[in-house]
A and B are shown apart, each in its own frame.
Chain A
Amino acid sequence: MKQASLSKDKIKAVAIRYGFLTLLAGLVLFFSLSAPGFATPFSAVFIFQSVAITGILALGVTATLVVDGFDLSIGSIATSSLMLSAYIMVVLEQNAVVAVIACLAMGAIVGLVNGVLIVYMRVPDLLATLGMMFLLIGLQRIPTEGRSIAQGMTLPGGETATGVFSKSFLALGRHKFDFFIENFIPFSVIIFVVIAVLIWLYFEFTRYGRVMYAIGSNERAAGLAGVPVHKYKIIAYMISGVLASVGGILLAARLGRGDIASGNNLLLDSVAAALIGFAVLGAAKPNAFGTAIGALFVGILLQGMTMMNAPYYTQDFVKGAVLVVALVFTFSLSNRR
């Protein structure tokens, strides 16, 4: 009798640990058989490229989730960085390096302000970052009076902008490296993978990363153990802000213009990826590896369904269903929480 229940527990543990990855493998198999052209190296690269931007944002979401916080402003930080890079190059006629540095600095500053509002002003995280979200959606439109930024655009003053998107900046979103096949792996995919590995190493293997998890599970205990809680929380929001601005830079490099956009879809997709990540390997907590897999999961689903001509609303439906299943895996089947 005892033997039986033990093996039952074991099966459950295995199901929780590998269930989601099995689901992912099954999905890949299904699409490979039913969608012609899905099981090719090019298709794999497409998937990585289509999730690179949301994936990077999702890693930022993960950083704030680790310290038990939340950042609603990442979508608008990304679109602000998109507008800022376009503004710097097209209107101010600066080069790619200036544009990238300015965007990263903007992301860090917004993250710092978010952190200070939450930690020192004691504004609840959802409210502080909600406010920041609206602020940025408005702010990004002020310099151009609501216009999108493109080469040769007419400025509010009536004159024509003479700056251009620099070639090296566009390469961030468009250049492809040779890897067995010529022009194969896009730059943005490499940036995504490198960031994912760095964030994973940081949270799993450095003291600082572990301390952040400690703050997330019990802030007071961590504080009593001598952890500078405030500093770490602010750093988490700064990581989130900087990663969001990286996402915006890649977006600008891919689009080749500054599009006014609220970035709400970016926010929702990346939060979904981070939450799906809870279920990967039965972690039941925010983790970088799970987030990257979560982003890929959504990417594979959308790619496969589009190839099979599924209309856009079924895609939202399926995305939602996956999220619900992942959350059930996390909160109901797993009892480690």
Chain B
Amino acid sequence: MKITRRIFTSMVAGVVLAATGIIGSVSAADMPAPFDKPSEVKIALVRYLSTGDFFQAYLAGVESQAKILGVDLRILDSRQDAALQADMVDQAIALGVDGIIVQHGLTESMQEAVKRAIAAGIKVVAFDVDVENPDVPQIEQSDFMLAKMALDQAIIDNGTTFNAGYVYVPGIAPLDRRDVAWKEVKDANPGIKQLAEFGTLDNPIANSVANQARSVLAANPTITVMFAPYDEFAKGVKIAVDEAGMTSQVKIYSADVSTSDISAMREEGSAWAATAATNPAVVGEVSVRVLAMLLAGEDPGHNVVVPPTLITQTMLNDGDIKNMKELSAKIPAFAHADVAVPAWMPLPKR
């Protein structure tokens, strides 16, 4: 084949394109409007909950994805004031933002505020709050899958016949969703007997739960599995199991993860066998990406679920993982979710 000038040009172009693809540095010109001029895109994060490790990490994820996109991010924090959060949406409208991420809140107060934003031509996405609006994609970490994943591991480790203790406080939305998985697993496996159910949110939660779990273990010494689908609960149960000298007899399965959870799971002979978790930073990144897709005129779908990752004691020990940073580095599924990733989307560097 004779290499004509046209073929040569297209080959060069192909190589250049491939190269940019490999390096992964997407320049602003490659992104669809309005991200061809990203610094002129303004987005707002309107928060309801902000104190605590989870929300801190979520914010970090939002910030890093916004930074790599090059957009202007405003953070409005209502600190658990539902009325103020609704006002903050109006404030964001007045600021002239292009998109809003609503992070938690109450359906009752946010529904109307979100409608006003949409009427003003602003794109909105919501994380963990149902604003009951077909134009607003709902981003969720699947609490049901979290619990299911941990319980599947419990069955792999302990078989389908065991005596269990369960930590639960009804009326807390994510715990209620996790409770559905526990009920299903119990119904499907009649060999699993729940001998005790307890739980409290008195803070410090771990300390209060430890006191309860001590009593439960004394009253039910045949328990071999504790399902504590929230890491503060699991920490409390672990303290009680250790204090009661039942470390080698009881296994704990939980949900969520943090640096201190990792060190508790990795203690010599720890009773804490496994947890399932969604990385809050990844959820933050996904929130921004979904909003960006909306702004670019693409359809991210109405329900965007960020899948959880199973983390076992063995995985942590094998990888010598000591904190969240190393967890992200060594377990790729935890560091990144393949959710809302069109070809043009730049991803935060790891």
Contact = CB atoms under 8 A, between A and B. Distances in A.
B260 interface: yes
Interface stretch (B203-211, B307-315, B342-350): B203-211
A203 interface: no
A236 B259 CA distance: 39
B322 A152 contact: yes
In this complex, the interface size class of chain B, counting residues with CB under 8 Å from chain A, is 35 or more
Contact of A306 (B53, B203, B212): B212
Contacts, number: 118
A36 B219 CA distance: 6
A141 B79 CA distance: 15
Given A251-B204, A254-B239, A153 B260 contact: yes
A307 B260 contact: no
B198 interface: yes
B305 interface: no
A255 B216 contact: no
A174 B218 contact: no
A260 B53 CA distance: 9
B198 A53 contact: no
Contact of B218 (A147, A302, A307): A307
Given A146-B56, A151-B260, A251 B207 contact: yes
A164 to B, nearest CB: 9
A37 interface: yes
A177 interface: no
Interface in B204-249: 204-208, 210-212, 214-216, 218-219, 221, 235, 239, 242-245
B288 to A, nearest CB: 21
B219 A35 contact: yes
Interface in A288-337: 302-304, 306-309, 311-312, 315
A191 interface: no
Contact of A260 (B51, B215, B324): B51
A255 B51 contact: no
Interface in A127-170: 141, 145-148, 150-154, 160
A125 interface: no
B88 to A, nearest CB: 19
B257 to A, nearest CB: 12
A183 interface: yes
A240 to B, nearest CB: 20
Contacts of B260: 148, 150-151, 153, 256-257
B218 A150 contact: no
B51 A307 contact: no
Given A154-B323, A307-B218, A261 B263 contact: no
Nearest to B261: A150
Contacts of A304: 215
A49 B53 CA distance: 29
A7 interface: no
B338 interface: no
A43 interface: yes
Contact of A150 (B203, B245, B263): B263
Nearest to A75: B203
Contacts of B208: 265
A186 B263 CA distance: 23
A59 to B, nearest CB: 18
B325 A259 contact: no
Contacts of B323: 152-154, 160
Contacts of A308: 219
B211 to A, nearest CB: 4
A40 interface: yes
Given A36-B219, A50-B211, A265-B208, A312 B169 contact: yes
A265 B204 CA distance: 8
A50 B322 CA distance: 30
A173 B243 CA distance: 10
A147 to B, nearest CB: 6
Interface in B316-345: 322-325
Interface string B262-279: 111000000000000000
A265 B202 contact: yes
A139 B197 CA distance: 36
A154 B259 contact: yes
B216 to A, nearest CB: 6
B324 A40 contact: no
Contacts of A312: 169, 198-200, 212
B174 to A, nearest CB: 17
B246 to A, nearest CB: 11
A220 B239 CA distance: 50
A153 B264 CA distance: 13
A82 B207 CA distance: 12
A154 B325 contact: yes
Contacts of A43: 215, 218
A188 to B, nearest CB: 10
B284 to A, nearest CB: 15
B248 to A, nearest CB: 15
A163 to B, nearest CB: 12
A79 to B, nearest CB: 7
B197 A309 contact: yes
A302 B199 CA distance: 12
A264 interface: yes
A202 interface: no
B169 A151 contact: no
Interface of B: 50-53, 56, 169, 196-200, 202-208, 210-212, 214-216, 218-219, 221, 235, 239, 242-245, 258-260, 262-264, 322-325
Please list the 5 inter-chain residue pairs (A to B) with the smallest Cβ-Cβ separation, ordered nearest first: A150-B260, A307-B219, A306-B215, A50-B211, A265-B202
Given A37-B219, A148-B53, A306-B211, 4 more contacts: A46-B218, A152-B263, A303-B215, A311-B198
Interface of A: 35-38, 40, 42-43, 46, 49-50, 53, 79, 82, 141, 145-148, 150-154, 160, 174, 183, 186, 251, 254-257, 259-266, 302-304, 306-309, 311-312, 315
26 contacts: A35-B219, A36-B219, A46-B218, A49-B214, A50-B214, A147-B53, A147-B56, A150-B263, A151-B260, A152-B262, A152-B322, A153-B323, A154-B323, A160-B322, A251-B204, A254-B210, A257-B260, A260-B51, A265-B203, A302-B211, A302-B215, A304-B215, A307-B215, A308-B219, A309-B198, A312-B200
